[in-house]
Structure 1
Amino acid sequence: MKNKVLGSTLIIAGTAVGAGMLAMPLTSAQMGFGLTFVLLTLLWILLTFTAVLYAEVHQYNQNDAGIASLAEQYFGSAGRLFVNFVLLFFMYAVLTAYVTGSGNLLLGILPTFENPEMAQKIMSLIFAIGLGAIITVGISVADVANRISFGLKVLIFIVILAVLLNKVSFENLQATPTNNLLLFSAMPVFFMTFGFHICTPTINEYLEGDNRKVKLSCILGATGIFIIYVVWQFATHGVLNQTILIDVLNKDPSLNGLIEAFKVATGSKMISEMVRVFSLLALITSYIGVALGLSSAVKDLLMHFNLRHDRITIGLITFVPPIIVGFTYPQIFLSAFAFAGIIFAFIGVFLPVALAYKSRKAYPNGEHTRGGNLSLILAVIFAIIIVAAYILTTFVKVLPPVVG
């Protein structure tokens, strides 16, 4: 429990490996395992690199500096305000979605209520207040809660895999894509599943600005995410015949459709309940990671304007808005998720690249990430391709659509 690098690694992995991971086979159903593996590998390399860039830039600032403070150092007050807006908008939207989604998951585990709608809101409130209190107390307590949740999540994941792996067919794994352009269509969806970069300021402060440890946590966390995703895709693509899976998803293109496909393929009713519990634990670890990132951004903003920034104040500003919006009008933020891929392209790639480029000019003798300016250019090109793929799939509709 005292190893902060391990705790930081698990916070990173827990933030990214959320309930959405279970639905990833929906998106990759028509791609086959081979093309899915290629896409996951490319995104792992890209987003590990940009996370390490954040760690690189942090070495020139105070340990508790947020991403907006980094932006202000190199792009002035206008840059800070823009980054603050993007970060807060993105993270409040995510927490609102988690608050509204937690009620459904908890209701599925608990007994039936006379008024399900009210019970769902009460469950959401308990979820938000309980985790909010833990995170407000401090990152050390949040670290312990995250380790316990992540450990349970891994155990359940292993049980799910144990049911699936002994039914893997290598013939299923050799299925070819129904359309090679699906590689681009799926990019924005898979891109979001590696989204942990908002945690880097919190990790940097937790590790007391030790640049080597921050980089190590980012690399280990991203690699853990990659391994979990590959194993999950291997199991699902290996168990589920591509033709049958696509047929099932055409009838029900949701997580329920995927669960039904598993039931048919394995004959196990246990899968659905295990998936439900996994989803709840995944929601908890993701909530902790995003909330830590948001509280760091709120603290950074309050400190900039010399406003009160004790734990209670930061906690209230962090957790009250998602609860209010989630209970009154969640559609505002949930609709904004349509642009989540583009927002994360800015947070996860464009911003760290720009900060690294500026910091290297300001501190030419600092400890720089390998690859030089060429690697920065390649990262930007990759991000542009992802944003273009998102636009061509969602709005222009030139690329083939994916499920999920």
Structure 2
Amino acid sequence: MTSAALTRATPSTFAGMVIIGGTIIGAGMFSLPVVMSGAWFFWSLAALVFTWFCMLHSGLMILEANLNYHVGASFDTMTRDLLGNVWNRINGLSIAFVLYILTYAYISASGSILHHTFGELSINAPARLAGLLFALVVAFIVWLSTRAVSRMTAIVLGAKVITFFLTFGSLLGHVEPATLFNVAESHPSYTPYLLMTLPFCLASFGYHGNVPSLMKYYGKNPRVIVRCLIGGTLLALGLYAVWLLATMGNIPRHDFIAIAQKGGNIDVLVQALSGVLNSRSLDLLLVVFSNFAVASSFLGVTLGLFDYLADLFGFDDSRLGRLKTALLTFAPPIIGGLLWPDGFLYAIGYAGLAATIWAAIVPALLARASRKRFGSPQFRVWGGTPMIVLILVFGIVNALVHLMSTFDLLPVWN
């Protein structure tokens, strides 16, 4: 094979950036302006940048450890070998918990947004019923095959990208500087509400399960994979900043209190934006975009949970085996969605709590153990021990913040 053919066969860096950015950006972004309304735009942007920095480097630490193993080795292999069975079980439980809680979150979100969508068509569809039917459709697609999920995800992702740019272009054109700078409040207080945003920021930068996948995609090529991680996470950071600008520049800070009190679900935020802008076309774009955002996140998360459970319990890929896996994947979150249909914000927050283990604490421990055993011959994250300590502290602080928030030990913007 000629060198030109080899060049053509090598996946582009852009493809890896899209994989990372597409994994990060999903329905979870709808929670950000609601939970960040207390800290408001500039402090929230600072929290996002800090979280991006820490989550990028924790992903790079996974890469550093992963490069010392065969292509295809993932969390299970690395964690068991470097940290032992106890940490491997803790890490496995945290991954399962995050995937289950996100599946529940998207059932809750799909029910609310479909209820709003059908309401626009003068059709009364209860949120519980809409979420149940949507979950059953996704379960059927996941049960069919991974290829069916891939094809459906490609369609949904393409539609999401188109509606994303149309929606944001319209929203940015309506931004009011007075609203963004919150001139209506004479002596506003922002910093007391900053800490509680961190677990939601962390949950909004989850891509770490894709690092071993990129090594399978590019081989042991750390330079390319590092560029993919930097580019993909920066893409997500930029879009989150635009989303905060578009929402906080259109909805007054005080109005977010009512949105949060109604559960913070996607339909409530869409209704608030529609009420402020009073634009029928923009309302339609928001509804379409939010539906596609939920669908793409739902498909990706449930496929990951499906494959994890199939591997964990040893279910085969026959129709009966896939049916067992599908029941185990969807039954618990569907029951949760029927009992608590408005738990989107709470679920995203709890996902952030569990994600601190496998997206912050475990990567730092892996990097430390990997350096002791292998010396990191192929790639080493800059910053030495202080960087490992920073990522560990970042994870621990996120966990503590969520626990403090759960027990009402942090101020709430109300």
TM-score (norm 2): 0.81
* Matching residue's letter, 1:70: M
The CA deviation at 1:316 is 5.2
**Which position in structure 2 is the counterpart of 1:174?**
181
Structure 1 Cα separation of the partners of residues 30 and 230 of structure 2: 23
Structure 1 partner of 2:3: none
Tell me the residue number matched to 2:18: 10
Q: Which amino acid aligns with 2:102?
A: V
1:90 is aligned to: 98
The Cα offsets for residues 159-202 of structure 1, whole Å up to 9 and x where unpaired, read as 22222212222233323853311111211222211122233333
CA distance in 1, matches of 2:340, 2:116: 26
- Do residues 160 (structure 1) and 160 (structure 2) align? no
Query: How far did residue 371 of structure 1 move?
Result: 1.3
Letter in 2 for 1:37: L
**What residue in structure 1 maps to residue 157 of structure 2?**
150
Contact residue 20 and residue 193 of structure 1 kept, 8 A: yes
| 2:363 paired residue among 342, 352, 369 | 352
The letter for the 1-side match of 2:54 is L
**Farther off after superposition, 60-69 or 202-211:** 202-211
Task: Map 1:19-168 to 2 at 5 A.
Answer: 19-99=27-107, 101-102=109-110, 105-106=113-114, 109=117, 112=123, 121-134=132-145, 136-137=146-147, 142=150, 145-168=152-175
Per-residue CA deviations over 1:113-169 (Å, capped at 9, x if unaligned) read 8998666534321222224545x239xx72x65444333212212222222212222
d(CA) in 2 for partners of 1:202, 1:149 = 22
Number of equivalences: 393
CA shift, 1:293, in A, is 4.0
Structure 1 pair 85/28, CA: closer, same or farther in 2 (3 Å)?
closer
Q: Is the 8 A contact 1:186 1:402 kept in 2?
A: no
Residue number among 297, 308, 331 corresponding to 1:324 in the alignment:
331
AA aligned to 2:163 is I
* 2:229 corresponds to 1:218: yes
Number of the residue aligned with 1:382: 394
Please show how residues 196-207 of structure 1 align to structure 2 within 5 Å.
196-207=207-218
The code of the aligned residue for 1:369 comes to V
Q: Is the 8 A contact 1:167 1:239 kept in 2?
A: yes
Confirm whether residue 232 of structure 1 aligns to residue 243 of structure 2: yes
The percent identity for this pair of structures is: 23
Q: CA deviation at 1:19?
A: 1.7
Aligned to 2:5: none
- How big is the shift at 1:356? 0.7
Query: Bigger shift: 23-32 or 53-62?
Result: 23-32
What CA distance in whole angstroms lies between the structure 2 residues aligned with 1:43 and 1:22? Answer: 17
**What is the alpha-carbon distance in structure 1 between the residues aligned to residue 125 and residue 347 of structure 2?**
33
Structure-2 residue corresponding to 1:189: 200
- Greater shift after overlay, 285-294 or 224-233? 285-294
* 1:137/1:249 CA distance change after superposition, 3 Å: closer
| Structure 2 Cα separation of the partners of residues 299 and 4 of structure 1 | 31
Moved more, 13-22 or 48-57: 13-22
Give the drift of 1:309.
Answer: 6.2
The counterpart of 2:382, out of the listed 358, 365, 370, is: 370
CA separation of 1:115 and 1:54: change in aligned 2, threshold 3 A: closer
Greater shift, 30-39 or 119-128, is seen at 119-128
**Matched residue type, 1:285:** S
Alpha-carbon shift at residue 277 of structure 1 (Å): 2.2
- The 1:294/1:217 distance shift into structure 2, 3 A limit, reads farther
Distance 1:311-1:285 versus aligned 2 partners, 3 A rule: farther
Equivalent residue letter for 1:189:
F
Are the structure 2 counterparts of residues 328 and 272 from structure 1 closer, same or farther at C-alpha, using a change threshold of 3 Å?
Answer: same
Paired with 1:55 and 1:388, the residues of 2 have a C-alpha distance of 27
The two structures have a TM-score, normalised by structure 1, of 0.83
1:56/1:322 CA distance change after superposition, 3 Å: same
Contact kept in structure 2, 1:342 and 1:387, CA below 8 Å? yes
Q: Which residue of 1 aligns with 2:4?
A: none
Shift of 1:308: 7.2
Question: Residues 318, 216 of structure 1: CA spacing in aligned structure 2 closer, same or farther, 3 A cutoff?
Answer: farther
* Amino acid in structure 1 at the alignment position of 2:90: F
Letter in 2 for 1:81: R
Render the CA deviation track for 1:354-403: whole Å, top value 9, x for unaligned.
Answer: 001101111113411111111111111222222222222221x2321258
Distance 1:26 1:121, change over 3 A: closer
Give the whole-Å Cα distance in 2 for the aligned partners of 1:171 and 1:86: 43
Separation (CA, whole Å) in 1 of partners of 2:30 and 2:13: 27
Counterpart CA distance in 2 for 1:386 and 1:238 is 28
1:80–1:382 distance in 2 versus 1, CA, 3 Å: closer
Structure 1, unaligned runs of 5 or more: none
C-alpha contact (below 8 Å) 1:8/1:203 kept by paired residues = yes
